[in-house]
Amino acid sequence: EMAASGYDFNNLHHHFLLLSLVITSCDLSINVKMFEESSVIVRDHIYSEFFSEGDMEKELGRTPMQQNDRKKACIPSLQIKFNDFILAPLYTLLIKLLPPAQIVVDQLEENRL
């Protein structure tokens, strides 16, 4: 609704939604840094955490999600899916409200290549 009608500075709900969008965008921003930097952080830190969780789930006799299973996870494929289904829609919405954020979408697209 807000993306279609535009941000209303007098609408507290719009303010809350925009802040939520910006905070989420910042939280996921590692994926829109230059690929050389982001790929190392994603591989060495984020997936390390995912795999540790998967190892604990296996110890408890549970089947971990594919992204948490170090034997089944294909990091490049998982990252492309995350970019396409989570990040692209998020940042596309962000640039509707904050057009200067287009640079972020451009970097995300460049990283996908």
Nearest to 42 by CA among 101, 71, 33: 33
| pTM score | 0.80
- Residue 103 banded pLDDT, cuts 50, 70, 90: very high
Model pLDDT, residue 95: 92
| d(C-alpha 75, C-alpha 98), whole Å | 31
Dihedral of CA 99/88/21/41: which sign?
Answer: negative
- Residue 3 banded pLDDT, cuts 50, 70, 90: confident
